[in-house]
Amino acid sequence: MSTHFFDLDRDQLVAFMQEHGFRTFVADQLLRWVYQRGEIDLEKMTDLSRGDRTRLAALLQFEHAEELTSQSASDGTRKLLLGWKPDQDPGDEPSSLRLLAPPSRKETECVMIPTEDRKTACISSQVGCPVGCRFCASGLGGLEGNLTRGKIVEQAWRLGRLPGVERISNVVFMGMGEPLANYGNVIGAIRTLNAPWGLGIGARRITVSTVGLPAAIRRLAEFELPVTLALSLHAPNDELRREIIPWAQHATIKEILDACSSYFKATGREITLEYILLGSFNDQAEHARELAGVAGSLRANVNLIRYNEVEGLPFRRPVSSDVHRFQALLREQGVNVHIRASRGRDIDAACGQLRHKQRQDPSSPVTER
Report, as residue numbers or ranges, the catalytic residues. Answer: 109, 351
- Distance (Å, whole) CA 145 – CA 188: 17
Rounded to 5°, angle at Cα 356 from 350 and 360: 145
CB 244 within 8 A of CB 275: no
How far apart are the two ends of the chain, measured CA to CA in Å? 37
The arrangement of strands across the sheet holding 228-232 comes to 65-72, 78-84, 106-114, 119-122, 170-173, 206-210, 228-232, 271-277, 300-306, 337-339
Nearest alpha carbon to residue 225 among 265, 262, 266: 266
Q: How far is CA 132 from CA 129, 231, 264, 323, in A?
A: 6, 16, 28, 25
* Ordered DSSP codes for 303-361: EEEEPPP-TT-S--PPPHHHHHHHHHHHHHTT--EEEPPP--TTS--STTHHHHHHHH-
Q: How far is CA 285 from CA 28, 239, 292, 332, in A?
A: 57, 17, 11, 12
Alpha helices, DSSP H, located in the chain: 10-19, 25-31, 50-59, 149-160, 183-194, 214-221, 238-244, 253-267, 285-295, 320-332, 353-360
* Ordered DSSP codes for 94-129: -GGGTTSPPPS-EEEEEEEEE-SS-EEEE--SEEE-
